[in-house]
Structure 1
Amino acid sequence: MAFAIKTEIRDPDATSFSFGAQKTMYGGKHIAADDIIFLFASENEGGRGLFARGIVISAEPIARKQNVLRQTPRVSIVVRCTAFAQRPLGRRELKSFGTWQDGQPGTELNIKFYRQATNKIVGISDEAAAFLDRFFEHSEKEPGKDPDK
């Protein structure tokens, strides 16, 4: 299983990121080291959506608070970028995937990220991961380097 995170990104040109105590939904709590993750810069914080793909270097679950009945599981992760997106994919582009039962990977992402627009880590299907991979064509070089040189 692959994962995706939508959160505030302060430096989209960085080659590694540390995300502390992130909410998880849709299986996101199962993220572990060596998993593939797609990074979305949250539009709620001025981001532009999908911008990078990476590998999880470490993942640590956050202990639940005692005496609190309903808690969203949280995880802290460190990610190393492996590629930067070559085309935009955010709320605007995913809005057209609005037929909830159509089974399209774009619809899966729209539901998981924008039906409840909070920042979070989510598990995604193989089909959604393949869909996202298409936004990284010709970008397998080191982050920050020109992929055509």
Structure 2
Amino acid sequence: MAFAIKAEIRDPRAELFAFAAQKTMYGGKHIAAGDTVFLFASENEGGQGLVARGAVISAEAIARTSGVIRQTPRVSVTIRRDALAVRPLGRRELKHLTDWKDGEPGTELNFKFYRQATDKIVGISDRTAAFLNGFF
């Protein structure tokens, strides 16, 4: 399975990325070592969208806090970059894709990342992973 993460990325050219206690949605809690990850520099944090692709080298689920009824699963991950994006893809390019049921890769990304704009790790379909590979 492939994943995408939208988070603060200060140096997209870094060889390693470490993200602590990241919120997960849409299957993101299943991320594991060896998985492919597409890294989006969060526009909420001054980023520009898709910046890199990498492989997970470690993933650790964060224990839930006892006594809190509703919690979003969180995961800490370390990712080794293997490619830099050569074309832009972010909120500006995806915001017009709002037919949530059309099955298109861009719409899937817009729905998962920008309908609720918080930073997060999400699971993505094979079709969307193939679409994203075209940006490298």
* Aligned-partner residue type, residue 89 of structure 2: L
Match of 2:76 in 1: 76
Give aligned-pair identity as a percent: 74
Match of 1:111 in 2: 111
Shift of 1:21: 0.2
Shift of 1:99: 1.2
Shift of 1:95: 1.2
Task: Give the Cα separation in 2 of the matches to 1:135 and 1:13.
Answer: 16
Task: Give the Cα separation in 2 of the matches to 1:100 and 1:108.
Answer: 7
Match of 1:121 in 2: 121
The Cα offsets for residues 73-131 of structure 1, whole Å up to 9 and x where unpaired, read as 00000000000000000000011211111110100000000000000000000000001
TM-score relative to the length of structure 2: 0.99
The correspondence of residues 1-149 of structure 1 with structure 2, limited to 5 A, is 1-136=1-136
The Cα offsets for residues 28-61 of structure 1, whole Å up to 9 and x where unpaired, read as 0000000000000000000000000000000000
* Aligned-partner residue type, residue 42 of structure 2: S
Q: How many residues align?
A: 136
* Aligned-partner residue type, residue 15 of structure 1: E
Secondary structure in structure 2 of the residue aligned to 1:96? coil
* Aligned-partner residue type, residue 34 of structure 1: G
Structure 1 outlier segments of 4+, above 3 Å: none
| Max Rg structure | 1
Task: Give the Cα separation in 1 of the matches to 2:126 and 2:41.
Answer: 21
Task: Give the Cα separation in 2 of the matches to 1:65 and 1:82.
Answer: 35
Task: Give the Cα separation in 1 of the matches to 2:13 and 2:81.
Answer: 10
Task: Give the Cα separation in 2 of the matches to 1:48 and 1:15.
Answer: 19
TM-score relative to the length of structure 1: 0.90
Measured on the aligned residues, the alpha-carbon RMSD in Å equals 0.5
* Aligned-partner residue type, residue 71 of structure 2: Q
Task: Give the Cα separation in 1 of the matches to 2:68 and 2:97.
Answer: 36
